């Protein structure tokens, strides 16, 4: 009876207004302000919600008393999160905030274009009113940034490729991706330690160089050219780079791209923090058309016999198209990208590709040196310097340069004998010696041939010169 009386005396509008008023007064005196970050905002997933969840996962492991665990798709590690309706305190630049994870069961399904989860989840952020500026100004940015970092660390890298003749997948993407799980790292890479340290420092400078690139007005990208014989670790180096920086890899199959504009589209669909790789760039040359036979065309002079015709199946990629891809205005449509080209024959490359500033760093991957050999012995046999007899080590050092064996060849020998470590080293020495002797023999016979050739040609040349003079 009293309720119905109340309802008649105070109609709904009045009650609502007074409640609102009381609420406002409470708010007025409260020292706190509150922010709701709901999982789904309207129809879109709220990116901030996911970011907060990840961010809290980094601090939750220390202070939280009840945690929820998740493991994402493609991820090899577990992340912690705040459990339902639990809260924790975070401090940022001396500002204290409270995070609460609020979960409310959703009432009977209302009409919606897509099925909504049964619970309504969100984070409630409480901060002092005087800290409002800090929270909105920099704290939330900090949370986003931190979350991205965690995401990159947790998520395995992706390897993208375009090798389907330029067709698009169901979502209109020209790239196909698979989880990238190459185990190569800079630790396992056998090469000169100084060179390795230099490359690693260069990569770090690049990754941390946002402000540098901004102040110098340069596009935030870097190019590396890896050259050297097969089996010297060019592809392994690329994998090590990706694992080191946590970047994805785009393996660009140039032979599957038919026009410069297609190339540009591919570039536009790459994300930042990625390595764009073109392997064996010298081999893509023959497959390109010479239609655009300018000074920038890939073809050597004289090879453009079929100029104008499309005998390569409509392949009209030109070197200038490729350089536009890496250097031109379009190359800046994303940030923080590394271009890596590899080749076995640097001498075959067009000088336009090699001129300074184009590829920032030329890295020569060469035959296995003594320093590199030590790394391989450590990786494959677990041997340090002292584990190998001094004499044996010296003998290895003597032949290694002459043998010109690639790290791939050497690791082959070591793998084969890895159960008997002592035998492995001796067999390696044997293999190195055999190679060294063979190389010596080849070299001396080549020298002999050269001399013979010269001896044969010199009278001819003399005759030629005579003829020229007489005709002139
Ligand atoms: N520098 C190295 N350090 C450690 N392992 C190496 C190195 N070089 C080669 N290997 C081993 O040899 C294999 C082949 O090397 P990789 O594919 O990196 O050579 P590559 O230079 O890319 O050759 P190609 O020019 O034929 O593409 C690798 O799987 C790796 O096990
Ligand atoms: Mg390779």
Atom 13 of ligand 1, residue of closest alpha carbon: 408
Q: What is the pLDDT along the chain (472 residues), one digit of tens a residue?
A: 556 665 666 677 777 777 777 777 777 778 888 998 888 776 666 788 888 888 887 765 445 566 666 666 656 666 666 777 778 888 888 899 998 888 887 665 555 555 555 677 888 999 999 999 999 989 999 998 888 887 777 767 789 998 666 666 655 678 888 888 889 999 999 999 999 999 999 999 999 998 898 899 888 899 999 999 999 999 999 999 999 998 999 999 888 888 888 888 888 888 888 999 999 988 875 433 333 444 343 444 333 333 333 444 456 777 788 887 787 777 666 678 999 999 999 988 888 888 877 889 999 999 999 999 999 999 999 988 888 888 999 999 999 999 999 999 999 999 998 889 989 999 999 999 999 999 999 988 888 888 888 888 776 555 555 555 555 4
Residue 9, pLDDT score: 66
Report which of 52, 21, 18, 23 is spatially closest to residue 35, judged by C-alpha positions: 52
Residue 470, pLDDT score: 52
**pTM higher than 0.95, yes or no?**
no
Mutate to test the pocket of ligand 1, among 229, 233, 372 (most ligand atoms within 8 A of CB): 233
Q: How far is the CA of 190 from the centre of ligand 1 (A)?
A: 9
Ligand 1 closest atom vs CA 237: 18
46 vs 64: CA distance, rounded Å: 24
The DSSP symbol for 385 reads G
End-to-end C-alpha distance for the chain, whole angstroms: 130
Q: Which ligand is nearest to the CA of 240?
A: 1
Atom 31 of ligand 1, residue of closest alpha carbon: 408
Mutate to test the pocket of ligand 1, among 183, 189, 235 (most ligand atoms within 8 A of CB): 235
Structure tokens at 257: 């791209």
Residue 311, pLDDT score: 43
Atom 8 of ligand 1, residue of closest alpha carbon: 233
Residue 167 CB contacts under 8 Å (≥ 6 apart), including other chains: 174
Helix (H, G, I), strand (E, B), or coil: what is residue 447? helix
359 vs 321: CA distance, rounded Å: 16
Q: Which ligand is nearest to the CA of 192?
A: 1
16 vs 35: CA distance, rounded Å: 23
Ligand 1 closest atom vs CA 229: 25
Q: How far is the CA of 408 from the centre of ligand 1 (A)?
A: 5
118 vs 361: CA distance, rounded Å: 54
Per residue in 335-355, is it b (16+ CB within 10 Å) or e — as a string? ebbbbbbbbbebeebbeebee
Q: How far is the CA of 341 from the centre of ligand 2 (A)?
A: 10
Q: Which residues pair with 338 in a beta bridge?
A: 222, 275
225 vs 345: CA distance, rounded Å: 11
Ligand 1 closest atom vs CA 236: 18
Q: Which ligand is nearest to the CA of 229?
A: 1
Structure tokens at 140: 């939330």
Per residue in 244-273, is it b (16+ CB within 10 Å) or e — as a string? bbbbbbbbbbbbbbbbbebbbbbbebbeeb
Going by their DSSP bridges, the two strands 274-278 and 337-343 should be labelled as: parallel
Atom 16 of ligand 1, residue of closest alpha carbon: 233
Question: Which stretches within 300-420 are classed as H helix?
Answer: 319-327, 351-354, 370-381, 390-403, 407-416
Atom 11 of ligand 1, residue of closest alpha carbon: 408
Contact 318, 260 (CB under 8 A): yes
Structure tokens at 24: 């406002």
Mutate to test the pocket of ligand 1, among 236, 346, 416 (most ligand atoms within 8 A of CB): 236
Q: How far is the CA of 86 from the centre of ligand 2 (A)?
A: 51
Atom 12 of ligand 1, residue of closest alpha carbon: 408
Q: Which ligand is nearest to the CA of 184?
A: 1
Which helix (H) or strand (E) is 85 found in, with range? none
Report which of 349, 259, 350, 348 is spatially closest to residue 310, judged by C-alpha positions: 259
Phi/psi region, residue 17 (left: phi>0; alpha: psi -120 to 50; beta: rest), is alpha
Q: How far is the CA of 272 from the centre of ligand 2 (A)?
A: 23
Q: How far is the CA of 242 from the centre of ligand 2 (A)?
A: 15
Contact 192, 236 (CB under 8 A): no
Atom 24 of ligand 1, residue of closest alpha carbon: 230
- The set of protein residues with a Cβ atom below 6 angstroms from ligand 1 is 188-191, 230-236, 344, 365, 407-408, 411
Residue 290, pLDDT score: 38
Report which of 353, 224, 196 is spatially closest to residue 282, judged by C-alpha positions: 353
SS3 content of the chain, % helix, strand, coil (to 5): 50, 20, 30
Residues with CB under 5 A from ligand 2 (ion): 234-235
Q: Which ligand is nearest to the CA of 182?
A: 1
Ligand 1 closest atom vs CA 408: 12
Residue 349, pLDDT score: 86
């Amino acid at each position: 009876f009293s309720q119905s009386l109340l309802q008649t005396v105070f109609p709904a509008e009045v009650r609502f207004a007074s409640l609102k008023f009381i609420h406002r007064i409470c708010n007025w005196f409260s020292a706190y302000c509150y922010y709701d970050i709901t999982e789904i905002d309207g129809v879109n997933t709220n990116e901030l919600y996911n970011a907060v969840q990840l961010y809290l996962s980094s601090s939750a492991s220390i202070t939280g008393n009840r945690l929820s665990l998740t493991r994402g798709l493609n991820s090899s590690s577990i992340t912690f999160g705040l459990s339902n309706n639990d809260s924790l305190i975070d401090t940022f630049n001396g500002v204290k905030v409270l995070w609460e994870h609020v979960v409310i069961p959703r009432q009977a399904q209302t009409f919606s274009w897509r099925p909504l989860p049964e619970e309504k989840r969100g984070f409630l952020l409480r901060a002092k009113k005087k800290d409002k500026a800090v929270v909105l100004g920099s704290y939330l940015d900090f949370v986003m940034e931190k979350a991205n970092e965690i995401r990159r660390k947790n998520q395995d890298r992706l390897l993208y490729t375009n090798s389907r003749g330029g067709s698009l997948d169901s979502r209109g993407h020209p790239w196909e991706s698979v989880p990238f799980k190459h185990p190569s790292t800079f630790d396992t890479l056998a090469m000169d330690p100084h060179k390795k340290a230099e490359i690693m420092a260069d990569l770090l400078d690049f990754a941390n160089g946002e402000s540098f690139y901004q102040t110098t007005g340069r596009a935030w990208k870097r190019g590396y050219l890896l050259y050297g014989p097969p089996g010297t670790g060019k592809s392994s180096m690329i994998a090590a780079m990706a694992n080191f920086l946590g970047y994805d890899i785009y393996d660009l199959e140039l032979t599957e791209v038919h026009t410069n504009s297609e190339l540009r589209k591919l570039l536009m669909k790459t994300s930042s923090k990625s390595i764009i790789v073109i392997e064996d760039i010298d081999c893509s040359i023959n497959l390109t058309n010479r239609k655009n036979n300018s000074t920038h065309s890939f073809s050597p002079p004289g090879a453009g016999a079929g100029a104008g015709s499309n005998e390569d199946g409509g392949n009209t990629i030109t070197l200038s198209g490729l350089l536009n891809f890496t250097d031109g205005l379009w190359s800046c449509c994303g940030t923080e990208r590394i271009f890596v080209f590899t080749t076995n024959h640097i001498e075959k490359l067009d000088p336009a590709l090699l001129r300074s500033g184009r590829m920032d760093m030329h890295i020569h991957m060469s035959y296995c040196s003594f320093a590199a050999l030590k790394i391989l012995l450590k990786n494959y046999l677990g041997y340090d310097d002292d584990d190998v007899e001094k004499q044996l080590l010296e003998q290895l050092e003597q032949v290694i340069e002459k043998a010109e064996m690639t790290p791939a060849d050497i690791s082959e020998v070591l793998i084969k004998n890895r159960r008997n470590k002592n035998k492995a080293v001796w067999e390696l020495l044997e293999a190195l010696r055999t190679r060294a002797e063979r190389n010596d023999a080849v070299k001396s016979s080549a020298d002999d041939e050269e001399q013979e050739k010269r001896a044969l040609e010199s009278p001819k040349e003399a005759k030629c010169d005579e003829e020229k003079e007489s005709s002139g």
